[in-house]
Structure 1
Amino acid sequence: MMALADELKNTLTAEGCEEQEAWNRILADLANGDGLEEALGKTNVPSSLIQKIVERTWLTITADDLALLQRAALGEEAFPLSEFIRGLFRSTNNTLHLVTPNYDRVAEYAVDVADHFHGTGFVPGLIRRREGADGITFRRGNHPARVVRIWKVHGSLDWFQGKQGQIVSLPLSRELPAEFSPMIVTPGVSKYERTHDEPFRSAIQGADLALGTANSVLCIGYGFRDRHIQPKLVERCRQKNVPLVVLARTLTDETKEFLRTSAGTSYLALESCEDGTRAYTYEIPNGAVIENCEFWSFAKFNDLVL
């Protein structure tokens, strides 16, 4: 978020009094130490400025995403998620559910590298239409294929809306397709309004179902700040006390509050500390240090459990 905030400060140009006034307030909040999401959430931003923020955000993240695609295609990028998916599919399970608020396609690349299929709510192809209520059945030969269902509750870099309102997924390029707008939800006061529309609404419903029926949950780098993900996760932990593992370089205050009040008794949270990894459980709510290890990182966690 810090890098994106710097990019917006350096490249976004507000026009007209309404845009300039709103943008000046946002810049002032950033200068006073607010994070990007906090600063955008304090100001009622005009729709024209929101569109500029969305497009500049899309351009910034897309450049990094395409560079990652290149490295993935060349086998130069390691994806701990790929190893984890392979490990989970050494079972009778045919479907995994992955819920993410991120726009990037790291999850999709990781599934591809793991040599499995993924679904994001669109049919296969280049000009990809919405999947529809019945869904797509993936097969390998005569048998159902292993599939990772990715629920992108804030949209994706490759989702677009045309001038006539049509929603499609298109191959990613460095420039926005002409006559199309990115379907991503950026931070700010309009964030929760936009998610009432498709395709976000269907993605959130899919995420709710996945979290509401999960037998276990692994959270990677999640700060427990998102109202689109939080309610069902809290509900599931309270009702079924499902096993929960949280990995993060630094656990946010919101994460620690969730662990104290809503995670149940079957949780393990791991974060980095000076001497190695600090582990939190229901029995050790203040944490205990595991020295000389980095189990909080996804790659090292895989080494531990797979």
Structure 2
Amino acid sequence: MELSALKKQLQKQLGDGLVLVVGSGLSCAEGVPGMGPLGRHLVTHIPASLSADDNNLWQEIYPLIETEGLEAALLKHAPTPSLEAAIVQSTGDFIASAETGIISEVFCNAKTLRLTRLIPHLLKPDTGISIVTTNYDRLVELACEEAGLGVDTMFSGHFAARLDPQDSYWGFCRSVKLVGKNVRYKFAPKANVYKPHGSLDWYHREGNPVRYAGSLPLPRLIITPGLNKFRSGYESPFDKHREKANDAIDKARYFLILGYGFNDDHLETHLTPRIKSGVKTVILTYWLSPKARELAIGHKNVIAAEFHQEGGILGTRFIIDGAENFYPDVDYWDLDGFVKGVLSA
């Protein structure tokens, strides 16, 4: 397929009813450490104050992190609640530190997030753009606000925000008008951000979730990889975000999937069947996971792009109509390159 024809086809796959699915690959592209650096951090930063039983369990887990990776290690040895709490705390601190540097760059106008560049090219439905992300960091929320959108996280309040989906929803209502016998509401442009794995600004306070943008001496509400992930996903506020994310996926007419590896049990029960049912899908990533590649090759409604080098020439390998095609000297696999080369052309 000629490059010009490819651009037109990609543009057609981002129509009304688009849902964005954002994985760790997009955050990594902005500078947030991935699973490898996180695993190495945990090996050296889990506190020595663990109980004897937790310490013995950790002695079994951490060698596997270095050889098999973090998720594989935690799948083989499910952490106890107390060990999981230590892993969550160390994980949150590590990612928050990297996030702080990225946010500072954005605020100092030294950096523009990739998602901020994408948003002006998307349709803005009255109900909001739906974004489902498995990431803990707040870069999606920041990118949306930098692009002029409000962000509905289902929490209401600024300094001690409570989980209140209805109050958060109506907080974006700007006017009410009676037209005949019908009531019309006007809402501010917004993104609905669903985070089934939690967020760095979610904390557990006296039995309830609370959202606060800074650091608190309270347990963070984030779900780490491993055997406890599925269980934890059915507790508040994860359950509300998972339900809303799955509802958005079930109603989607198009998917744009960014840096996501299709390895999450919470989303896969809805996302993969929807793609297989024929929903037009674009996948952009540095490296296609085996599951993503299988979906792209087996389903003509999917266009997938990944980084590829051939004969010393850098470019993008696309899977289109189930077949692989190499396009040299284009970086459409990266969201920045996609926006500049496909949507801004």
Task: Normalising by structure 1, report the TM-score.
Answer: 0.91
The answer to whether structure 1 residue 301 and structure 2 residue 343 are counterparts is no
**Contact map agreement 1:40 1:188 (CA 8 A) in 2:** yes
1:238 and 1:254 map into 2 onto residues whose CA distance is 12
Runs of 5+ consecutive residues of structure 1 not aligned to the other structure:
none
Q: Counterpart amino acid of 1:136?
A: Y
The aligned residue for residue 5 of structure 1 is 39
The answer to whether structure 1 residue 104 and structure 2 residue 137 are counterparts is yes
The answer to whether structure 1 residue 235 and structure 2 residue 273 are counterparts is yes
- 1:277/1:266 CA distance change after superposition, 3 Å: same
Report which of the two has the higher share of strand.
2
The aligned residue for residue 317 of structure 2 is 278
1:27 and 1:211 map into 2 onto residues whose CA distance is 36
Moved over 3 A (4+): 91-94, 132-135, 139-143
Instruction: Give the drift of 1:244.
Output: 0.3
Counterparts of residues 38-117 of structure 1 (less than 5 Å): 38-89=72-123, 94-117=127-150
Instruction: Give the drift of 1:118.
Output: 0.6
2:138 and 2:326 map into 1 onto residues whose CA distance is 34
Cα deviation code 1:207-227 (max 9, x no counterpart): 000100001000111001011
2:57 and 2:125 map into 1 onto residues whose CA distance is 53
Cα deviation code 1:134-160 (max 9, x no counterpart): 652314577411110000010000000
Task: Normalising by structure 2, report the TM-score.
Answer: 0.81
1:257 and 1:18 map into 2 onto residues whose CA distance is 42
Question: Which residue, 258, 264, 289 being the options, matches 1:252?
Answer: 289
Q: Which moved more, 1:130-139 or 1:119-128?
A: 130-139
Q: Counterpart amino acid of 1:43?
A: H
Q: Which moved more, 1:138-147 or 1:220-229?
A: 138-147
Instruction: Give the drift of 1:133.
Output: 4.6
Instruction: Give the drift of 1:18.
Output: 1.6
Considering Cα pairs closer than 8 Å and 6+ residues apart, tell me whether 1 or 2 has the greater RCO. 2
The aligned residue for residue 30 of structure 1 is 65
3-state SS of 1:294 partner? coil
1:66 and 1:27 map into 2 onto residues whose CA distance is 27
Question: Which residue, 207, 210, 219 being the options, matches 1:165?
Answer: 207
3-state SS of 2:155 partner? coil
2:290 and 2:97 map into 1 onto residues whose CA distance is 31
**Identity within the alignment, %:** 27
Runs of 5+ consecutive residues of structure 2 not aligned to the other structure:
1-34, 177-185
1:125 and 1:30 map into 2 onto residues whose CA distance is 38
**Contact map agreement 1:213 1:236 (CA 8 A) in 2:** no
Question: Which residue, 302, 306, 330 being the options, matches 1:267?
Answer: 302
Q: Which moved more, 1:66-75 or 1:55-64?
A: 66-75
**Contact map agreement 1:212 1:235 (CA 8 A) in 2:** no
The answer to whether structure 1 residue 198 and structure 2 residue 236 are counterparts is yes
Question: Which residue, 191, 205, 219 being the options, matches 1:148?
Answer: 191
RMSD (CA atoms): 1.7
3-state SS of 2:129 partner? strand
Cα deviation code 1:56-90 (max 9, x no counterpart): 1111111111222222222222112112111114x
The aligned residue for residue 156 of structure 2 is 123
1:67 and 1:30 map into 2 onto residues whose CA distance is 26
Cα deviation code 1:271-291 (max 9, x no counterpart): 01113110002241xx11001
**Contact map agreement 2:121 2:343 (CA 8 A) in 1:** no
1:117 and 1:297 map into 2 onto residues whose CA distance is 25
1:76 and 1:283 map into 2 onto residues whose CA distance is 40
Q: Counterpart amino acid of 1:169?
A: R
Q: Counterpart amino acid of 2:90?
A: R
Number of corresponding residues: 294
**Contact map agreement 2:297 2:322 (CA 8 A) in 1:** no
